[in-house]
Structure 1
Amino acid sequence: MIPEALWTYLFVFAGALLTIAIAMAYLVCKYTEAYPKVHRYDEEKYFTNPNTGKKVAFPSIDDNWSVNISVIVPAYNEETRLPPMLDDCLKYLEEKSRSGVSYEIIIVSDGSTDKTVEVAESYAKKYNTIRVLALTKNRGKGGAVRLGMLSARGSVMLFADADGATTFSDLDKLNESLRSILGFDYINSPGKTAESHAIVCGSRAHLEEEEKAKRSLFRLFLMYGFHFLVWLLCVRSVHDTQCGFKLLTRASARLVFAALHVERWAFDVEMLYIAEFLNLPITEVAVEWQEIDGSKIVPVWSWLQMGRDLGLISLRYKLGAWKIAKPKVN
């Protein structure tokens, strides 16, 4: 039999927890912006024309498309890993351009403190299809990708990690999946593609069995724990949310990145959460992937940060502190 005094303490404790939870929910809703406000420094609105040395304003994602595909490359202190990635990317895109496919590459230096900007600009001098967006301060990968997307001209937009971990020619697989969703693609019908909705995610899920043998039990626990939290709290249509190789139509990128709040590692999860909420078509395609030395992710700390962000994403949307603007239907 539980003493009456103990029942009293339990009720008081439960009441205190409930009060704290309500107070926290109130504070989250009151002091959180429902819709993101994207601040952009004046110098981030321009790129330098390498031939004239003059500043040229970036276009807006609200403008009409003018190239078949934009490739957004977020880069933070990537002076070493960026050149091999760009070489692979340019080899593929230059070959496509010979058959009439127009492209641009926007390298977004996320407040880099090394020679990333200089390396990127050296490529821009050789290829007039490359633009360099140098962010004034570090925003995080999500913030860099977002500003690149908002500055792009493509009918479709691909963001690809600067480490070159994914074989760039696997873009063919993503385009094939895009075609299966829409019935056309950005090569043959760029106008229709730009106005349609689809997101195609590169995936490393098929490599998990191989990775199991290489990872410690603790890292496996973190990996599966993260996957479970993603599935439980946020996204259920995509197994590998974190692969940095995703293709979006212009219309989908406009919707998703206008609503995005998270600017660091977990931005992919919120991006897909928004896409699921808006019922945008999403597919997942296996791509070739290899570990490249020099990762910016600190194994334990980064996983813990992402786990925290997942909880906050779920909580803020469920409480209504964050909102997603649904597109108007005429």
Structure 2
Amino acid sequence: MEMLQLLVSLGVGLATALAVCAGLVVRFKSPRPRRREESENYYLCIDEKHEQQRLGDLQSKATVDLSIVVPAYNEEERLPVLLDDVRDYVAERRQREPRFSFELIIMDDGSRDKTLDVAMEYARKHGIRELKAVRHVVNRGKGGAVTQGIMSAQGRFIMFCDADGATKFSDIDALLERAQAAARDGLAIAIGSRNNQALSGTVVERSHIRAFLQWGFHTYVTILGVRGVRDTQCGFKLFSREAARRIFYNMHVERFIFDIEILLLARYQGIPLVEVPVNWHEVAGSKMSIVRDSIQMALDLLAVRLNYMLGNWKIADRSKPQ
């Protein structure tokens, strides 16, 4: 009897401790996105004498075939590589489809270097009128930059990709093909994967430490209930316009863990999602701190999962244009 009472007491104590820890995580680690500053409602381009023009709205009807959103923080050195890749892709795509239209939204996330100047100079040099450059007053984080860019996108399909050019941009065709095949009621998401290369023949080059961290993070994500996706963090994801509306008006996370919230929102709303192998190589200059950001991501993910489980975060229906 005494042993049973001891076990019950230990169980109650453990449950209480876990509840307190969960409460602290939700209270102090839940993200709180800031509102847009007025200046962040405008973009720069090479039309209209470089004057600022007002951003579009995801709730409106599409006006171009593809929106490409690029979150960029201190990327003056790596950004031109991606821009070259995008420009080559557009030239080749227009040989196949002369009427192909796009927009390229560079989200300068409060950079301290010349990222914005580099983007605008590239647009002027190559005559890219479709390039739109937005500058955040202060750094939001990659997730915040992606969310703000996509909420302003005008494409029938909308994608985001990392500014470092680590993924071969022409792989977007495979994502588009798979998304269109999987679409249901205008809803589809296709995400790049760096973990399917053995089956597909794609090439992935990463360091051993990065591979180990990828494995550890995937295990942690699986434990917390996000299953069925081999590579949650690849910065190469594509959305139908309707899927983007249902996802990004409900986003909370503005840092690295935002990819997980995208997947959770897709699952909760039954949005078709396909994982597509892509060619990827590790590029020097990552902004992540392996130790600090790994701990931060683990706590953020726990907070996200708890907020949805406890019903603190509701999923609003913003699927129809206003």
- In structure 1, the residue matched to 2:52 is 55
- In structure 2, the residue matched to 1:188 is none
Residue pair 1:71, 1:157 contacting (<8 A) in 2 also: yes
Residue pair 2:64, 2:101 contacting (<8 A) in 1 also: yes
Residue pair 2:204, 2:279 contacting (<8 A) in 1 also: no
Task: Give me the CA root mean square deviation.
Answer: 3.0
Aligned pair in 2 of structure 1 residues 108, 20: CA closer, same or farther (>3 Å)? same
Which amino acid is the alignment partner of residue 150 of structure 2? M
- In structure 1, the residue matched to 2:168 is 167
Percent of counterpart pairs with the same letter? 40
Displacement of 1:36 in angstroms is 7.3
Displacement of 1:308 in angstroms is 1.6
Secondary structure in 2 matching 1:144 = helix
Secondary structure in 2 matching 1:285 = strand
Displacement of 1:172 in angstroms is 1.2
- In structure 1, the residue matched to 2:234 is 243
Q: Distance in 2 between matches of 1:212 and 1:134?
A: 32
Displacement of 1:161 in angstroms is 0.5
Where in structure 1 are there 5+ consecutive unaligned residues?
184-194
Match of 1:280 among 271, 289, 293: 271
Aligned pair in 2 of structure 1 residues 276, 123: CA closer, same or farther (>3 Å)? same
1:111-130 equivalence runs, <5 A: 111-125=110-124, 126-130=127-131
- In structure 2, the residue matched to 1:189 is none
The count of residues paired between Structure 1 and Structure 2 equals: 312
- In structure 2, the residue matched to 1:181 is 182
Deviations 1:3-61 (A, max 9, x none): x5x9878766654554455556667778999x976611100000134342322110100
Report whether the alignment pairs 1:266 with 2:266. Answer: no
Residue pair 1:32, 1:322 contacting (<8 A) in 2 also: no
Q: Distance in 1 between matches of 2:215 and 2:300?
A: 16
Residue pair 1:73, 1:160 contacting (<8 A) in 2 also: yes
Please say which of residues 6-15 and 95-104 is displaced more in the overlay: 6-15
- In structure 1, the residue matched to 2:82 is 85
Which amino acid is the alignment partner of residue 101 of structure 2? S
Displacement of 1:234 in angstroms is 3.9
Match of 2:70 among 68, 73, 84: 73
Q: Distance in 1 between matches of 2:206 and 2:94?
A: 41
Tell me the TM-score normalised to structure 2 length: 0.86
Which amino acid is the alignment partner of residue 287 of structure 1? V
Aligned pair in 2 of structure 1 residues 30, 320: CA closer, same or farther (>3 Å)? farther
Secondary structure in 2 matching 1:205 = coil
Q: Distance in 1 between matches of 2:160 and 2:190?
A: 11
Q: Distance in 2 between matches of 1:8 and 1:287?
A: 56
Q: Distance in 2 between matches of 1:282 and 1:248?
A: 9
Q: Distance in 1 between matches of 2:87 and 2:246?
A: 28
- In structure 1, the residue matched to 2:188 is 198
Displacement of 1:122 in angstroms is 1.2
Where in structure 2 are there 5+ consecutive unaligned residues?
none
Q: Distance in 2 between matches of 1:159 and 1:303?
A: 22
Q: Distance in 2 between matches of 1:142 and 1:53?
A: 27
Displacement of 1:224 in angstroms is 2.0
Tell me the TM-score normalised to structure 1 length: 0.84
